[in-house]
């Protein structure tokens, strides 16, 4: 994040919105939330008095812009490209929609990692799939070493992925998330099947990403109508009919197991 000059009254508005850190001795107002867990909006700041300026970067009074006053976690988002010849590529517009949904639903800070190929060690040639469990282990190693404990990562791919489910050793899945853990993985290939249009594909992928990150943040499957944490149950209907966010019970649990905390500030540069 960048230090910057700005009028002091505009700066007050950003503090109120939770977008910059207040100087020592002045607390920034927390981002308001509605009952669905989505971030609300702060009111507009007034414009009293004569405007002033913050100091130059590196001088006293430097402002460091934060993404939000409080977050649940820092989440790295990374595309794992299918390295096989002719494989589909994940569209940047779709990745951007996933990023927006994660921020909006869970109040997490999302940071991007550069795309990288799926690890060969996770490939299962018999079914031409990648083992989702192995991908979770791999993803956890991709978090930068200087990040604090509690940092999460979510991977996106166009390749088919699978896990073990009951007697099925190689069960194809939309995604997989480590309950209360570090990593989650989403594949778009099955979510594209029988989709009406690109908008429905986007809805399915973003909902699945929210669902899997919900597991990582500590939410298990639930029975709340239209909650994003409903089990897919081997079909697509619950995903298509999802509200896109957690229901009241899951929201209450989320606040217990992954409460909002002050967001770490990135140094100005």
Catalytic residue status for 212? yes
- Is residue 127 within 8 Å of 51, Cβ to Cβ? no
Active-site residue identified among 59, 212, 224, 233: 212
Instruction: Name which of 33, 52, 200 is nearest 103 in CA terms.
Output: 33
Helix 92-106 to helix 198-216 angle (10° resolution) is 50
| Beta strands, E only, the chain | 70-71, 74-81, 109-112, 116-117, 123-124, 129-131, 152-157, 161-165, 168-173, 175-177, 183-187, 261-262
Contact between residue 29 and residue 16 where contact means Cβ atoms under 8 Å apart: yes
- Given a contact cutoff of 8 angstroms between Cβ atoms, the answer to whether 134 and 121 are in contact is yes
Classify burial at 169, counting beta carbons within 10 Å of its beta carbon; exposed 0-12, middle 13-18, buried 19 or more.
Answer: exposed
Euclidean distance between CA atoms 184 and 56, whole angstroms = 41
- Active site amino acids: 212
């Amino acid at each position: 994040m960048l230090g910057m000059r700005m009028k002091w009254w505009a700066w007050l508005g950003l503090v109120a919105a939770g977008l910059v850190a207040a100087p020592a001795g002045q607390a920034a107002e927390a981002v308001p939330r509605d009952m669905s867990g989505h971030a609300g909006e702060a009111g507009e700041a007034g414009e009293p008095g004569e405007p002033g300026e913050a100091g130059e970067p590196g001088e006293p009074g430097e402002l460091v812009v934060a993404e939000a006053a409080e977050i649940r976690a820092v989440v790295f988002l990374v595309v794992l490209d299918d390295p096989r010849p002719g494989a589909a590529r994940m569209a940047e517009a779709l990745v951007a929609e996933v990023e927006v949904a994660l921020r909006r639903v869970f109040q997490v800070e999302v940071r991007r990692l550069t795309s990288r190929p799926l690890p060969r060690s996770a490939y299962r040639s018999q079914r031409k799939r990648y083992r989702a469990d192995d991908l979770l282990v791999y993803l956890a190693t991709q978090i930068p070493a200087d990040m604090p404990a509690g940092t999460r990562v979510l991977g996106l791919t166009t390749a088919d992925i699978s896990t073990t489910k009951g007697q099925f050793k190689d069960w194809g899945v939309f995604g997989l998330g480590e309950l209360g853990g570090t990593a989650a993985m989403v594949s778009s290939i099955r979510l594209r099947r029988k989709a009406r249009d690109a908008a429905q594909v986007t809805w399915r992928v973003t909902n699945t990403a929210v669902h899997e990150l919900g597991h990582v943040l500590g939410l298990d499957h639930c029975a709340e109508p239209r909650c994003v944490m409903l089990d897919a149950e081997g079909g697509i209907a619950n995903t298509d009919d999802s509200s896109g966010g957690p229901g009241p019970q899951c929201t209450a649990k989320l606040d217990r197991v992954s409460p909002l905390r002050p967001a770490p500030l990135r140094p100005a540069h």
